[in-house]
Structures are given as structure tokens and as C-alpha cells.
Amino acid sequence: MTQIAVVTGATAGLGEIIARTLHGAGYRVAVTGRNHARALEIAAELDGTGETAVGLELEIAKRDHFEAALAQVVEKWGRVDVLVNNASVTRAQPVLDITTEEFNEVMAINAGGTFTGSQVFGRYFRDRGYGRIINLASLAGQNGGTATGAHYAASKGAILTLTKVFARDLAPYGVTVNAIAPGPLDSPIVHRTIPADRMPGVLSTIPVGTLGSQEFVARTVLHLASPDAGFVTGATWDINGGLYLR
């Protein structure tokens, strides 16, 4: 049976690669993001007929956007099987310079968005008796971050905890919830965050000596989204080049 996935933050970067990877593997995909025009554009590139890809506006800070996306996908394809909570904001600031308002904003968007998405879709998956939720966390949530701000690191740490909570509560209903915690990836956002003159120093701290692959992270999402992944839940998959070992 063809699987149906909703991917947040899928209009650029890793989220776009995840959406394209799922679609390439035969999934029907709802490409969602704040930039509705871009979501529609990517969906049209994947399938100009609209049969296997749709573009939807979804701001993760808004519960009604999650509810609307769920309703629209169910109306179009009859059900949803997978939610990928990918969307987030990344900010790099010294901890003593972050205002309370800035901290709360990043926490509300990143951790709050993952919570809301997992709750809205988690209720639906529970009632269906099946579902896969994959949350994009970060190495920063495990080691406190080195190139990112404390608000970003704290929000990603919260996502790791939320993954465990939802996994525990939804496991009896055939729903798995897992997280992926990438380290620095070869991506535009990493290159924007880390100045070119600092990159050699960053690479020297990574045991494998390179940045990670966005495509590999996307394939890991595909792996966890599979119906065969029913015995994996509450886990965090580390993809960090050896920067964090446990």
C-alpha cells in the first residue's frame, strides 16, 4: 500500500530533500511550509498532475495550520501515515546576549511546533491504530551546541524529550515516534552559520573530518517511516561524524 507523508519545512534545505526522497521512494507527499508558493512549486516538480504530491501552507507555530493540513491530506488521499517534523528556526547568538523574548520565541517555534504537530497527528494516528512520527532534532540538543545559540540548542533538547514522551504514550496504538539528531551537515544553513574562515577549524573537530550528508539523513527518515520500522520507537538516531558518542 502506498504510504502518505506530511513533511514540515519542506520548501528548502533538508526538508525539501526529505520530501523529494520520500516521493522518489513511492510515497505520496504533502510538501508544507510557510512559503506556500514554493510548496506548490516543489509539489508540481514532483508531480505536475497533483496525484502524488501537493503543496500546503503550514506555519508550525499555528495549531490550526496543522489541523488544516491533516484535514486536507485526508480529504485528498483518504489518510495520513507519516508526519516528519522538520521545520525549525536556527539562530546563533552568545547566550548572554539572548533576550527572554528571543529565547521564548525559538522555543515556541521549534519545540512548540514539534509538540503541536505530534499531538494533532498523534491523536489521528492513535485513532487509526497506525502512524509514524519522525522528529528532526540536532546534535546541539545533546551537547549544548557550539555554533548555535542556547535557545536553538534548548529547543532541540526539548524535541528529544518530547520524542520519548510521545513514543511511550502512543506505542500501544501502533504509532512509533523517533528522532534524528544530525551534526553539522553540508547544507546552506550550516555554511551560513559557520563563516568560511572558521570552517577548517570546525572540520578539524569532527572525528571523521567531513560534514554530513543531507541525503543520508533523508534516507534515514525514509527508513524510520517504513511500515517495517514498528519495533523502533523513542529512539534518537545520531548522525554526527563521531562528535557525540554514547
The residue segments making up the domain with residue 93 are: 4-239
| Residue 39 counted as domain residue | yes
pLDDT in tens, 210-244: 999 999 999 999 999 999 999 999 999 999 999 99
Question: What stretches in the chain show pLDDT beneath 70?
Answer: none
Is 152 one of the catalytic residues?
A: yes
Prediction pTM value? 0.96
In the block, which residue shows the cell 529547543? Answer: 155
pLDDT in tens, 183-204: 999 998 888 878 899 899 989 9
- Contact yes or no for 234/177 (Cβ under 8 A): yes
- State the catalytic residue, choosing from 27, 124, 130, 152: 152
Q: Hey, what's the cell of 122? A: 498523534
| Residue 244 counted as domain residue | no
CB atoms near residue 26 (< 10 Å): 9
What CATH number is attached to the domain comprising 185? 3.40.50.720
**Count: domains in the chain:** 1
